[in-house]
Amino acid sequence: MSLSDDIKAALEDNDDLMELLIGGIFAEVEEISKQNTPGAFDATTKEIQPCALIKLGVETKAGPYARSVRTPVRIYVYQRQGYDIIYPAMDLMFDVLNDAKIGERVWNIEFSNDIKGQRDQALDCALGSQIYTAIRHR
């Protein structure tokens, strides 16, 4: 499994989080869209449901080992409007991911920061995001 799939599986194991993110958690896709992630949208209203997208960033070398890297992990959390689901979901994700070893080659996942109060213009919805750094053996 990839790092993003391992993180997705760990988040999906949290029942409280999955009760909030009824549209699902997605990894290995470019963006939330009706074409790429149809489950993120309500079948009747066609509006976005609370959901999350995991994206990996550019890895950088991290010593002291020759094959150790730092991999940024950004998780976007969406809902149609307001932040009453986004913020509690971000708190639960923190509980699952911060200072965790997830996946075979990960030594540690460290919380970096929250970005709250955003808006996704393309989807016309509320957005929050979190950034973590996975320190791992590549």
Which structural domain range is residue 19 located in?
A: 3-137
* Predicted pLDDT at 138: 81
pLDDT mean values, one per 10 residues, the chain (138 residues): 95 98 97 97 97 96 84 98 98 98 93 97 97 93
Cα dihedral sign, 87-89-94-95: positive
Query: pTM above the 0.75 mark?
Result: yes
**Residue 79 sits in a domain of what CATH number?**
3.30.2000.10
Over residues 41-78, the pLDDT tens digits come to 999 999 999 999 999 999 999 877 788 999 999 999 99
- Split into its structural domains, the chain has a count of 1
> Strand (E) positions, the chain?
24-26, 51-56, 60-61, 68-79, 106-120, 125-137
| Three-class SS state of 101 | coil
**Which residues in 20-46 are b (16+ Cβ under 10 Å) and which e?**
bbebbbbbeeeebeeeebeebbeeeee
* Predicted pLDDT at 90: 98
What is the C-alpha to C-alpha distance for residues 117 and 106, in angstroms, rounded to an integer? 30
Query: Do residues 71 and 102 lie in contact, with contact meaning Cβ atoms separated by under 8 Å?
Result: no
* Predicted pLDDT at 66: 82
What is the C-alpha to C-alpha distance for residues 7 and 62, in angstroms, rounded to an integer? 20
* Predicted pLDDT at 67: 86
